[in-house]
């Protein structure tokens, strides 16, 4: 089952969800570690190269994920708590918005000097150059705040999934963890 049904997420949604989760945590960890590298570190140029390339990869996965979500049904919400359903919708929109904000701010950081971003030496995403004064620093602040915010949102997301599983004892978590 590739597509979603009213009762279950399909393989595409499930795999893209977990791939995105792994990439978000990995990119956050590498970004957190990378900011303390000094010029003499052997990873000084290598870590940012991979951080940017995987960040671009996540960007394309996120665009695909949004398009896939728009052309697929979503499984019906479980339970009758309307406030919880609205909060879940807002949280999901916030996660998508934060992902796009992080990636766009990362692009602005990386291209402020006019150089494009290498996507695994396959293609170079061109730069739009410096669009506003102090672009690298301002975009860097936004990137950092958005990264910490998305990790906090992901922790809430995990907490909500666990609440559904252990407290509500419904199939919310199972719908995203069954790989058939």
CA–CA dist 19, 32 (Å, integer): 20
The confidence score (pLDDT) of residue 180 equals: 54
Boundaries of every domain in the chain: 11-177
The confidence score (pLDDT) of residue 179 equals: 64
What pTM did the predictor assign? 0.92
Contact of 31 with 51, CB cutoff 8 Å: yes
Among 54, 48, 65, smallest CA distance to 12 is for 65
Minimum mean pLDDT among 50-59, 134-143, 152-161, 169-178: which range? 169-178
Write down the mean pLDDT value for the chain.
Answer: 94
Q: What is the CATH number of domain 11-177?
A: 1.20.950
* Other Cβ atoms within 10 Å of 49 Cβ, number: 14
């Amino acid at each position: 089952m590739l597509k979603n049904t009213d009762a279950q997420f399909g393989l595409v949604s499930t795999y893209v969800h977990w791939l995105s989760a792994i990439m978000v945590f990995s990119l956050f960890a590498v970004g957190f570690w990378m900011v303390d590298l000094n010029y003499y570190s052997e990873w000084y140029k290598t870590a940012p190269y991979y951080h940017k390339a995987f960040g671009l990869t996540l960007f394309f996965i996120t665009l695909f994920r949004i398009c896939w979500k728009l052309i697929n049904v979503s499984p019906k919400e479980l339970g009758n708590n309307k406030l919880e359903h609205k909060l879940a919708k807002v949280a999901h929109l916030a996660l998508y918005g934060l992902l796009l904000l992080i990636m766009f701010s990362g692009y602005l950081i990386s291209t402020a000097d006019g150089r494009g971003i290498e996507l695994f030496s396959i293609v170079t995403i061109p730069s739009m150059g410096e669009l506003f004064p102090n672009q690298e620093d301002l975009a860097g602040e936004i990137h950092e705040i958005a990264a910490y915010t998305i990790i906090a949102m992901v922790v809430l997301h995990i907490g909500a999934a666990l609440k559904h599983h252990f407290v509500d004892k419904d199939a919310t978590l199972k719908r995203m963890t069954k790989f058939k």
